[in-house]
Amino acid sequence: METRAVVMCGDCGAFWDPAAEPAVCTDPAHQHHEFESHLHRTPVTFADGTTVVAVSFGGDDPYVRGSTPDFGLYLDERWDPPWPHQHLDWPDYGVPPDREAVVAALTDLLERARSGERVEVGCYGAHGRTGTALAAMAILCGTDPDDAVAWVRTAYCERAVETDDQAAFARTLLA
């Protein structure tokens, strides 16, 4: 798994990839800590054979790919790629406010993938929001809701779905 350096401000909670973006916190009195994080460009294939690519924002150029996607669904406002895309309002470490919008956006992404488009989904780190979206898509593709989070952590990344609220959101999305 490729990794990248991420800097986090211990005082204000801001974080950024210094290779891809300017410092988000520039207060010299704040304590900044650097750590390693995964850099995902990871294909995920669901039970029905549908494949999407899970991506994290960062690296020298967050838009460099071996193959340019036909469409992207992004769960973080930092994304502004040159290919067609959609943003979904989804707070970091949280759950989105509009369940119907989530189901519509994820269903559209899956339909695009099934029609042969190369699609991707991503947030910043590609663990919490992206992992939750992948768990929800797994359910839409036939995985039992009670097994979806464990499936994503096994099939994609052990860090996927970061909070209990995110796990509950995925499990009950279609309830």
21-54 pLDDT tens trace: 889 899 999 999 887 877 899 999 999 999 999 9
Whole-model pTM over 0.75: yes
pLDDT of residue 62 exceeding 80? yes
How much is the pLDDT for 148? 97
CA 101/CA 19 separation, integer angstroms: 33
Q: Could you give the angle at which helices 148-155 and 164-172 cross, rounded to 10 degrees?
A: 110
CA 63/CA 57 separation, integer angstroms: 8
| pLDDT interval class at 61 (50, 70, 90) | confident
Report how far Cα 156 is from the mean position of its chain's Cα atoms: 11
E strand or H helix at 72, and its extent?
Answer: strand 71-74
Summarize pLDDT for 139-167 with one digit per residue, the tens: 999 999 999 999 999 999 999 999 999 99
How much is the pLDDT for 149? 98
| pLDDT interval class at 172 (50, 70, 90) | very high
pLDDT of residue 13 exceeding 90? no
